């Protein structure tokens, strides 16, 4: 599971959707893999406005990345190649292959195995 995906999902339990504590889900025991993928600046520019920056900062810290700037890069900052490369590396090239995503509200753990997160819920949480 890539960092960008972790920024787009939250707890699958319906009652958690309205709780601020359910997002972002927190990585635990995360085993990382760094991939090398083509840099696509137009993708970063198009999708970055949809990224929840505060949550991304939390996720980056949890995964051991250096602290991100406090505010989301916008406008001219997105023409800076290093900024684009850093975002590309974090959002798309960093993948959690094994580990868990844990909801800060209900505590449910979503297991990640071979890069595939499992968001299916047991009966009592549906």
The set of residues, in sequence order, having a beta carbon less than 8 Å from that of 52 and lying 6+ positions away, is 7, 23, 24
CA distance 106 to 89: 31
Interacting residue with other proteins among 23, 59, 73, 105 (CB under 8 A)? 23
Closer to other proteins at the Cβ: 37 or 77? 37
Give the residue from 9, 19, 100, 7 showing the smallest Cα distance to 57. 7
Figure out which of the listed residues 21, 61, 77, 115 binds other proteins, where binding follows CB under 8 A.
Answer: 115
DSSP letter for 69, please: P
Query: Assign residue 89 a region: left if phi > 0, alpha if psi is -120 to 50, beta otherwise?
Result: alpha
Using CB under 8 A, pick the residue from 10, 59, 94, 105 that binds other proteins.
10
> CB of 119 within 8 A of CB of 9?
yes
Q: Tell me, residue by residue from 58 to 97, as one string, x for binding to other proteins by CB under 8 A and - for no binding.
A: ----------------------------------x-----
Binds other proteins by CB under 8 A, chosen from 21, 28, 46, 74: 46
Give contact residues for other proteins (rule: CB under 8 A).
1-2, 4-5, 8-14, 17, 23, 37-38, 40, 42-43, 45-47, 50, 52, 92, 109-111, 114-124, 126
């Amino acid at each position: 599971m890539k960092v960008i995906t972790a920024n787009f999902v939250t707890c699958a339990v319906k009652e958690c959707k309205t709780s601020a504590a359910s997002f972002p889900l927190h990585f635990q025991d995360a085993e990382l893999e760094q991939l090398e993928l083509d840099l696509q600046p137009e993708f970063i520019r198009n999708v970055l406005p949809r990224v929840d920056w505060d949550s991304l900062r939390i996720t980056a810290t949890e995964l051991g990345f250096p602290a991100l700037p406090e505010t989301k890069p916008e406008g001219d900052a997105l023409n800076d190649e290093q900024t684009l490369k850093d975002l590309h590396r974090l959002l798309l090239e960093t993948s959690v292959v094994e580990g868990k995503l844990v909801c800060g509200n209900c505590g449910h753990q979503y297991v990640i195995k071979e890069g595939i997160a499992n968001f299916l819920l047991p009966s009592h949480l549906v």
